[in-house]
């Protein structure tokens, strides 16, 4: 019987939200995780979780066990940190998720430098067109734009970033420059489908004024590099992150449109599960990223 180990197991299971997700992280089968949970419940003499095919739901006893147990784990870990002669050495597999464009341009080089500094860490970078669920996919760190909505994750801001509306000079010369967000309704707009929410809806603000415009265009994609190339080719107006278009604005290949209007912020964050059980590889990597990411 190891109460501390049981507490750690149950806390991780609740955090991952499913037997299969925890099993993937531990490198065991879901039945093995289920058996471990059953043994824990048998030892305590109560049911901690109600299991369905889709999700886990904590019982009242489970909520009490988690709330009190999490505090005990934090106290134990703090005690060990206090008496330890040195901090943990980063080691093991570090799994990182980022979007294609930013991942290729910034995260891949950062991981290369990090691996040279921490040779005992193996890295796995998965690039996707939209952020993945960290728990379900067993990732250690995810890179997100804008304030992450998941309160179960810790979010560390890596860099400030704005969204800018821009177009090629050739397009603006041919079709005119809109004077207000409403003027976008008559323009060709290039739409990036970044997530499962309704795309092609752009939000603008200027002081206390707010305007939402549903834009239309003949070209859309889930890949940011494709939409950027189309904008450079003069196909229409594009809404993109500053990190991606600033170079082209500086060179004159793109021009900002409606610069007096603000768009929703797109600050760049590293997100990871709550600090409980945070490994040295994650802690050191996020600290490294905060210094490594330098945007124009």
Please count the other Cβ atoms lying within 10 Å of the Cβ belonging to residue 101: 20
* Per-range mean pLDDT, top range of 30-34, 91-95, 135-139, 166-170: 166-170
Report pTM: 0.66
Concatenated DSSP letters of 8-36: HHHHHHHHH-SHHHHHHHHTS-HHHHHHH
Q: How confident is the model at residue 96, as a pLDDT? A: 96
The residue to which tokens 């305590």 are assigned: 44
| Most distant CA pair in the chain, distance | 76
Q: How confident is the model at residue 14, as a pLDDT? A: 86
Q: Which domains does the chain have, with CATH numbers?
A: 3-83 (1.10.10.10), 92-160+267-292 (3.40.190.10), 163-256 (3.40.190.10)
Q: How confident is the model at residue 118, as a pLDDT? A: 93
Q: How confident is the model at residue 85, as a pLDDT? A: 37
pLDDT tens-digit profile of 22-32? 888 888 898 99
pLDDT more than 90, % of the chain: 47
Does residue 267 register a pLDDT over 80? yes
Does residue 59 register a pLDDT over 80? yes
Mention every residue, 6+ apart, whose C-beta is less than 8 A from residue 204.
Answer: 181, 210, 211, 212, 213, 258, 261, 262, 263
Nearest to 107 by CA among 269, 272, 283: 269
Question: CB burial class (10 A; 0-12, 13-18, 19+) of residue 263?
Answer: middle
Question: Across residues 245-261, what is the average pLDDT?
Answer: 96
pLDDT tens-digit profile of 87-109? 567 888 999 999 998 999 999 99
Q: How confident is the model at residue 16, as a pLDDT? A: 83
Mention every residue, 6+ apart, whose C-beta is less than 8 A from residue 88.
Answer: 279, 280
pLDDT tens-digit profile of 190-202? 998 876 555 788 9
């Amino acid at each position: 019987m190891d109460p501390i180990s049981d507490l750690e197991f149950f806390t991780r299971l609740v955090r991952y939200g499913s037997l299969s997700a925890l099993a993937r992280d531990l490198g065991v089968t879901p039945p093995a995780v289920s058996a471990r949970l059953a043994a824990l419940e048998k030892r305590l003499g109560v049911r901690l979780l109600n299991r369905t095919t889709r999700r886990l739901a904590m019982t009242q006893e489970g909520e009490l066990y988690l709330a009190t147990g999490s505090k005990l784990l934090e106290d134990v870990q703090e005690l060990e940190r206090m008496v330890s002669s040195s901090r943990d050495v980063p080691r093991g597999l570090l799994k990182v998720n980022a979007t294609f464009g930013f991942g290729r341009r910034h995260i891949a080089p950062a991981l290369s430098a990090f691996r040279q500094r921490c040779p005992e860490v193996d890295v796995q970078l998965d690039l996707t067109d939209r952020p993945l669920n960290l728990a379900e996919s067993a990732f250690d760190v995810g890179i997100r734009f804008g304030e992450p909505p998941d309160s179960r994750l810790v979010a560390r801001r890596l860099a400030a970033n704005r969204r800018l509306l821009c177009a090629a000079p050739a397009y603006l010369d041919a079709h005119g420059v809109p004077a207000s967000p409403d003027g976008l309704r008559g323009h060709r707009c290039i739409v990036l489908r970044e997530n499962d929410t309704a795309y092609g809806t752009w939000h603008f603000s200027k002081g206390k004024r707010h305007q939402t415009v549903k834009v239309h265009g003949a070209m859309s994609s889930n890949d940011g590099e494709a939409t950027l190339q189309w904008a450079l080719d003069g196909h229409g107006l594009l809404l993109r992150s500053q990190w991606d278009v600033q170079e082209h604005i500086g060179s004159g290949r793109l021009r900002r449109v409606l610069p007096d209007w603000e768009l929703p912020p797109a600050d760049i964050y590293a997100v990871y599960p709550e600090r409980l059980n945070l490994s040295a590889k994650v802690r050191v990597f996020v600290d490294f990223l905060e210094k490594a990411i330098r945007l124009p």
